[in-house]
Amino acid sequence: MKNYIISGLLFLIFFSTVQAQIDTVFLIGNARNYGDSIVLRWNGKNYQSFLEINSGSVMVEKKRGLEAEWKLLSELKPKPIESWQISKVNPNKQIILAAASIQQMQAISKTPVASIEDGMTSDQDLNYLWMNASLSADLNTVAADFCNLRFADKNPERGETMLYRIYIKNTANISDTLFFMIGEELFEPETLQRPDAVEKEKVVEIFWKSDKKYAAYFIEKSEKNKNKFEQLNRAPMVIPVGQGETPMLFFSDSVVNYQLGEYRVYAVDMYGNRSKFSPILIACGRDKTAPPIPTGFDVRENTDQTLVLSWKNIGTKNGELGAAIGIKHSDEDPYEPVTKALLPITQNKFIFKPISEKTDYYFLLQVFDTAGNSSFTEAFYQLNDNTTPAKPEGLKAIVNKKGVVTLTWNWNKEKDLDGYLIYFSNSEKNEFGGIVNIPFYDTVFYDTLSLKMLNREVFYKIVAVDKRFNISENSEIVKVLRPDTLPPVSPVIKAYSVADSVFIIQWIRSSSIDVERHYLYRKSRKTGKLIATSLNTKDSIYRDRNFVPKEEYEYYITAVDATNNVSPNSNSVVLKSYVNYYKPAVKIFTVQYDSFLRSVKLGWDYSMENISKIIIYKGKEFDKIGRMPLDVSLKQSFIYDSKVVLNETYFYAIKVYFKDDTETQMSSPLGVLVK
């Protein structure tokens, strides 16, 4: 198997998901021309191939021109960990991390696994260690050499096309062969773009667009104009798995407010080469804390009808700069400024001249500090107003056959009118009761009469109310007559249950007060025969035992009032008896979260035969679960649910269906916390 790879191909790492023996060492790689040397870099496409690279010899061959013969340039043999020259005096973190990762990978790969779960855990561990070793090789050329992932040709020939190839020798598996065609373009490090920042209270949040061609990023900081940069991130910042084409990286720096800092970013690619530093970003933490809320804000009215706004002295110890006053005349309106400029911070009083025809005044006192932060308090004042609205005129009432009364009247002319209160009585001599007890802002109102009252006459009157709740005189009283009676309200069948020997039906009785009887109707779906059963008005449950088993019957209910008006039919239900329809619920049902697989494992044991399907239910609340959209094999006794989120609780239940159209009861839901 051969892979042709030319200079410029991105160096990618793909994660394996199943631990298994391989028969081919899959390779990926790239090459770079430095002028005085050619560097080849490679890796396995999975951790199994990586282990083969570290156990076999990497053969590096070269030829000059397309027609020349391949010549062995070097045979890179694996280097035992003990020969890696790890210094105790000045240890290199990347070399130590690579050595430790390879040692653990070799130990895990040689350990037999006893189950699928252990195998999947081992697979995850090997992928993680491979990622660490590969990152160390990207960031440190010595680590790459020790990992058998790098070769530098320090005597490159010029003038002709140079070709290189590598493959793995001394392994029981077939090896890919990587071919590299080296161009004349020399490597030149790039300059990163300047990062951006969000300046917050004692925090600077720095972010920048990253590029997948770099293995890791580092951010440095210096005091402004000091040029003494120090690295901020202890560990290399890598692009998270699953990011898009232009992923973003973020770093949060805790700072002292208003102390300017200089930030710059650089990156390291898979060859261990640094990019050029980004242009410097200057940023600092900024005061985002609002000043204390002003206190003592009060409004009073002078004898000259001006309003005096006063408040306690504000002070300047929290950087207070000045105050502003806003006004509005309705709770729903926005505030408008009273003055264009801020009031001096030493001022604690303001005189306001009321606006003609306005009685309600909402005032806002807002304090600003030198950083532009603000806090506020509010006050409300209502001018004295004892003038009542005019008596409402033109009240009329019309009633239709369904008992709907339409009231209309003329609109009052007062500008501070808040609406109308509407009153009702069954007798002109009795006290009127309010049917609208808060101001109704319209001149049309609809009321619905009860059609079963004995008295025929109904009376209405209204009053006008202003915003100070001054009430006008009563309007003229209008009279309407109730129309003919209507049928009672239908009952509602709310529940039913079915067994092999009885149908149980429950209903909500008609809400009409003059209902004298209910009738339950049963119609055979086979013969069409209809049977009516008389019920007392207080009955709400009926048990029917007189039916033919396994036949279908339709049930519905009507209500009859004192004048023999019959309600419309209730909703109907169709019932059919059965014999032993339900089997026992699944009793052995387990739910457990596997943190390594990031999945919930569901297991069950049910020994009944002739099963037709198995349904799993899921939800975030005990009593709100729904069917999961998956097919469960009848031979399975467990499944994994990976569609879960950390720190969320999930509930699961199971139900089994059989070929004879019977089923089990749903099991009691079991909960699990994903953590």
Give average pLDDT by consecutive 10-residue segment, the chain, 675 residues.
Answer: 33 36 85 92 94 92 86 92 75 89 92 88 93 93 93 84 90 88 89 95 95 94 95 92 85 94 96 95 93 94 90 91 94 92 94 84 94 94 83 94 92 90 90 90 92 80 89 94 78 86 90 89 93 92 87 94 87 81 81 92 86 93 91 89 93 89 86 92
Domain extent at residue 437: 396-481
Is 233 part of a structural domain of the chain? Answer: yes
**Does 391 reside within a domain?**
no
What pLDDT, on a 0 to 100 scale, did the predictor assign at position 454? 62
Q: So what's the pLDDT on residue 500?
A: 65
320 in a structural domain: yes
Tokens of 639: 């499944």
Q: How many helices (H) and strands (E) does the chain have?
A: 4, 48
Residue 241 covered by a domain: yes
Same structural domain for residues 17 and 115? yes
Residue 292 counted as domain residue: no
pLDDT of residue 579: 60
Biggest CA–CA distance in the chain, Å, is 122
13, 160: one domain: yes
Is 191 inside a domain boundary? no
Do 8 and 156 reside in the same domain of the chain? yes
Q: Examine the domain organization and report whether 547 and 587 are in the same domain.
A: no
Nearest one of 483, 474, 569 to 522, comparing CA atoms: 569
Q: By the 8 A CB rule, do 510 and 491 touch?
A: yes
Same domain, 624 and 519: no
For 586, phi then psi, to 5°, come to -65, 120
Examine the fold and report which residue of 418, 451, 481 is the final residue of a domain before the chain moves on: 481
How many structural domains comprise the chain?
6
CB 218 within 8 A of CB 266: yes
Q: What is the pLDDT of residue 415?
A: 80
Query: Does 244 lie in the same domain as 302?
Result: no
Are 460 and 503 found together in one domain? Answer: no
Contact between 208 and 215 (Cβ < 8 Å):
no
Q: Residue 433 — φ and ψ, nearest 5°?
A: -110, 145
Assess whether 36 and 103 both reside in one domain.
Answer: yes
The pLDDT score that the predictor gives to residue 485 is: 65
Q: Identify residue 161 by its one-letter amino acid code.
A: T
pTM of the model as a whole: 0.52
* 9 and 44 belong to one structural domain: yes
Look at residue 156 and tell me if it is in a domain. yes
CATH number where 628 lies: 2.60.40.10
Residue reference for tokens 């260690």:
129
Domain-located, residue 566: yes
